[in-house]
Structure 1
Amino acid sequence: MLRFIKTLLLCAALNTAPSMAEWHYAERAIMGTQVRLQLWHEDSAEAEHLIEAVMAEFRRLDNQLSPYKENSELSLVNRQAGQGNVNISDELTRLIDKSLWFSQITNGAFDISYATLGKHYDFRNKKRAHGDLTDSLLEALNYRHLKLNRKSNSLRFSHSQTKIDLGGIAKGYAVDRAIAILEQAEICCASVSAGGDARMLGDKRGQPWLVGIRHPREKSKNAAVIPLRDIAISTSGDYERYFIDEQQERVHHIFNPSTGKPSETTEGDTDKLISVSIIGPHGFDTDPLSTSVFVLGKEKGLALINRLPQFEAVVIDSNRHLFFSRGLENL
């Protein structure tokens, strides 16, 4: 609360100062999505410098964490960790450690080893892993195969065919890193988003940021609009990357680790979710939580969020009905 009051006072001071302060905007294609940034600054040159610093940080993380870049640290791990210990950076250790923590508290609903089978899906070309391949690799898809040594910063996979992908946590982490850059520069008001992950620094010049949650079946509409200040929000939905197969089933990118297949979003099943938005202090947490709740389903997913202080959820079930976690129900 003190931090929020301080932010408001700083913004008020900027409002009364005789300057050319204005909003500065930027958008770049990085990490397989659109990275968007807006910030309030009185110096255009300094604002541009900060924009480039933020985008450079996104590119750095993409170069380190992309499973599609042959020279990334993640690709190196996937090539070698199945044969023995691989030395990894402090940053990758932290990301994997956090991922494993979410695997534990969600009983495996969040599992970065989903890539073991996920890598065999090609959403652009409407290709999925065949049943025989899924059956043969399912044993390798298990976060317990990840043997992380936090002291020595090393990692090995106890199954030779295990692979990992940080797509369920890396963008939330990147958004936090971007906000840290802006905080260090004493920016009062900013918003950074990367795909379904966003974080707001302060408010929008005395007003809350109005964040729309996209309608999962009507692209041009919002299912809800939420006023937010100084907080993160992450959304996972079956409409982000998907294709419709020959049986007219939706094949999307959010995998259920227990089956090795995309989570079912069968119409009419009121526990199945098609959109999950998590609100909380940091994208490093809201990003994996949105995936976790999606996989867990409405009942178990909302129960998880209701047990976690500082987090709230907005979910949409397969019947397109909206539900809220306990802290949002009476707002």
Structure 2
Amino acid sequence: MNPDPRIPGRLTRRRFALALPLLGALAYLAPGGALASAPGGLVRESRVLMGTRVDIVASAQGADAHEAVRQAFAEMERLEALMSRYRADSDVGRIAAAAGRHAVPVAPEVMAVLRTARRLHRESGGAFDITVGALAGWRFEPGHEAVPTPAQIGRALRLVGMDGLVLDERAGTARLARPGMALDLGGVAKLPILHAGLRALARAGVHDALVNGGGDVLAAGSLQGRPWRVGVRDPAAPARLLGVLELQGGGVVASSGDYERGFVRAGRRLHHVLDPRTGWPTEGVHGVALRARTVDEVNGWGAALMVRGAAQAGAWHAQHPGVDALVADAGGARWLSQGMAAALKNIG
């Protein structure tokens, strides 16, 4: 969910993001893709949540936007505290501590994410699996990189398997069947948390807003009457934008890739998206960008597609025709759905 809090400096590092919001023009981009300023009539604030930088841009018209933004961040911080794997007092931490012993009561928001993860596991043919939390020997923070031994990976893989996650929705509890099992909700919790922030803004009267969390961008309404614009980087050449996607009246652009947290060891790129079948970082897919109207349509599928491989992109899209998709492989080839090819506009 977020980097290991024992590692210093985690709040200051800016990670590369495949998708990034554009406020009117590239002049609003600071080095690394951070939002440098916002046009008049907008309120902008950034904080570090879930191990990445989260930006909110909100309309200052018709509501106390500053207070609305404060409420949105408070709601996202509340949910992060429930779902972080690095907090012993989180629901996820308590589930791991009780693994193999007893069920743990969880908040409704956590149960909803766990239910989504179970569905994604089934629909992805096992490519998406939150029990990869047992593969705890991997470390990806700069200066603290670690690769577990093959023996350590083999032992941890015996604890990976969604059959070991037992949910009792009537009782509101979750249980991990075997001692040593653990959950990692990083691939499925961030979008719902960002969406909760967007809903908090709406409850406070702000209906034109954008929330960006490390390359996952959610929007509501418009940017002063114009569509929100999200730039999509070329995963093979991060300094270059492939084009711009527009979000009019709401929508989401979700991205995943091997560029977010990783390092090179012995000529191999090692990164935080782990293949639950091997215990190693995925290979073959460099980055994924998905655009849809709702979070549910894309949540978790970026990581799942990285596990499944670029060759499966067309078959997956045939089952999800409402999602615009871009999948870039490590060799530089890009697969775009027809909708993505049509939606991706030139910079201008």
1:310 deviates by 2.5
With structure 2 as the length reference, what TM-score do the two structures score?
Answer: 0.82
When structure 1 is superposed on structure 2, of 127-136 and 197-206 the one drifting more is: 197-206
Partner of 2:257: 237
With structure 1 as the length reference, what TM-score do the two structures score?
Answer: 0.86
- Larger relative contact order (CA 8 Å, sep ≥ 6): 2
Partner of 1:299: 311
Partner of 1:219: 238
Higher helix share: 1
> Given the superposition, is the C-alpha separation of residues 161 and 301 from structure 1 closer, same or farther in structure 2, using an over 3 Å criterion?
farther
Gaps of 5+ in 1: 1-20, 265-271
Q: Is contact 2:68–2:206 with CA below 8 Å preserved after alignment?
A: no
Partner of 1:13: none
Separation of aligned partners in 1, 2:179 and 2:301: 28
1:56 deviates by 0.6
Partner of 2:93: 75
Partner of 1:121: 138
Q: Is contact 2:313–2:327 with CA below 8 Å preserved after alignment?
A: no
Q: Deviations over 1:149-194 (max 9, x none)?
A: 1111112222222211110011101111111112223433211011
Partner of 1:290: 302
The answer to whether 1:187 aligns with 2:199 is no
Query: 2:301 corresponds to which letter in structure 1?
Result: L
Separation of aligned partners in 1, 2:145 and 2:62: 47
Separation of aligned partners in 1, 2:225 and 2:62: 20
Partner of 2:34: none
Separation of aligned partners in 2, 1:260 and 1:135: 8
| Bigger radius of gyration | 1
Separation of aligned partners in 1, 2:44 and 2:105: 39
Q: Is contact 2:234–2:241 with CA below 8 Å preserved after alignment?
A: yes
Query: 2:276 corresponds to which letter in structure 1?
Result: P
The answer to whether 1:277 aligns with 2:289 is yes
Partner of 1:202: 221
Separation of aligned partners in 2, 1:326 and 1:219: 23
Partner of 1:324: 336
1:330 deviates by 4.7
Q: Is contact 1:302–1:313 with CA below 8 Å preserved after alignment?
A: no
Q: Deviations over 1:13-63 (max 9, x none)?
A: xxxxxxxx811111111111101010112268x111011001111211121
Q: Is contact 2:87–2:93 with CA below 8 Å preserved after alignment?
A: yes
Partner of 2:51: 32
Once superposed, what is the RMSD of the aligned Cα atoms?
1.8
Separation of aligned partners in 2, 1:172 and 1:159: 28
Partner of 1:102: 120
Partner of 1:177: 196
Size of the aligned set, in residue pairs, is 301
SS of residue paired to 1:223: strand
Gaps of 5+ in 2: 1-39, 344-348
Separation of aligned partners in 1, 2:137 and 2:110: 24
The answer to whether 1:145 aligns with 2:157 is no
1:109 deviates by 0.7
